Amino acid sequence: MFVAIARLTLHIESSQSLKDKRGVVRRIKDRVRDRFHIVLSEVGDQAVLDSWQRCDLAFSVITRERAGAEDAVASIYGFIESLGTAERRHARHEVQAYGDDWYGTPAEREGGDAAWIPPEWREEAGR
């Protein structure tokens, strides 16, 4: 499994107030949610949140393959740019791999140190 975490900075030229900015950001977030079934969150410190023309958005994507995560991020970036409501100024993303061993070593899963496993999970597994 691969997790892509992305953050991008948008410049909203037409915005002349926080109300204008919020309207544009809401439209972007709604359209991305409807198209890709993901949620964008507005992030950043208070200065960014109070800026009329700058918006920092973040999202994450989980896929089975690294290429799928990279493609999904590129598609979302491209879709946001195609809306024409804001200009992308900066974007960064990382893709992290999570394997089957994310929840412990084989020894821990096979009866080793299982203290980290909640009791209800042990009961379900017959421990």
Q: At what angle do helices 18-36 and 66-82 cross, to 10 degrees?
A: 140
Question: Is the pLDDT higher at 105 or at 117?
Answer: 117
Question: Is the pLDDT higher at 105 or at 80?
Answer: 80
Q: Which domain holds residue 94?
A: 2-124
Query: Domains in the chain: how many in total?
Result: 1
> Where residue 96 sits, what CATH number does that domain have?
3.30.70.1120
With bands split at pLDDT 50, 70 and 90, how would you rate the model's confidence at 121?
confident
pLDDT of residue 109: 55
With bands split at pLDDT 50, 70 and 90, how would you rate the model's confidence at 120?
confident
Q: Which among 9, 83, 107, 95 has a CA at the least distance from the CA of 51? A: 9
